[in-house]
Structures are given as C-alpha cells and as structure tokens.
Structure 1
C-alpha cells in the first residue's frame, strides 16, 4: 500500500465484503450501523483488518469508528506508527 487513499480503498472493500454490499452501496462517510454493522460484523471486521493489513488496532478506538473513513484513518495511523518504529 502506498498511501492513505489505498488504505481507505482496502478498508472499504473489506467492510463491504463483510456487510455483503458493494462500494457504491456503502459510502465511506455513511454510518456503518445503518448497513447492518452489528457486534458480529464488528468482530469479523476487526479480525480481518488486523490480519490482512498487519496491524493491531486499539479496541476502544476501533469501536469509536463509525464510518469506513474513520476506520481507514485508524488503520492508516497504525500503519504509520508501525513504519516509524522500524
């Protein structure tokens, strides 16, 4: 991944896959709860994001993210932190 746009695209696709929606159906600023984001989807999302993107997300910060964009920002921040500690 080369930048924030790529992170957002990947996070968007992962969340769309979990919710069974297309990127056109689920915008990056729409509340995930309006699209069926519940506790099970959240747990799956956390596991997939951490596994596929190689990050460890803070659980409170993850649950505070209510849109794709907020989750992408959280992941991008963790990736930046990880890159800076190498």
Structure 2
C-alpha cells in the first residue's frame, strides 16, 4: 500500500506544480512572445521545488525518479500554459 501512495504522490505533486508553473508563466510573460524564456525558467524553478517538497511528504526518491518527475511537471506546464495562451 505504501508503494501505491508513493507512486501517486510522485505523479500528482509534480503535475500540480507543473500546472502552477504554467499559470505563473502566463502571468509573468503576459502573453508576450519575446519573454518565453522567462516562462521556462519558472518551470525549472518549480521542478527544483520538488527536490524539497517530496521528501517532506515521506517519499523516497531515486535517480531514475527525476526523469518521471521532470516529465510530469513539464507536461502540466506545457498543457496549462498553452491552454491559457489560446484563451
């Protein structure tokens, strides 16, 4: 049961932080295309937040987990930011 809890946390938390990064990227760049790199920096910073947040939730992280965590955060960021840019 603990493995399922850890797997769920490793999926949901980065996804939520990715969506938050997408919203922050939209608000910071204000839809201006020349400021896109700033939106990517927001994503990288929120992926880094996972390093401190996940151990506080009693999740054991291994080296291979970071690829999945980064991808989930990227997917949430990309989908939410693209959605907001097209509204």
Q: Do they superpose with TM above 0.5?
A: no
What is the TM-score with the length of structure 2 in the denominator? 0.36
- Between Structure 1 and Structure 2, whose CA radius of gyration is higher? 2
The answer to which structure, 1 or 2, has the higher relative contact order (CA under 8 A, 6+ apart) is 2
Determine which structure has the larger helix proportion and give its number: 2
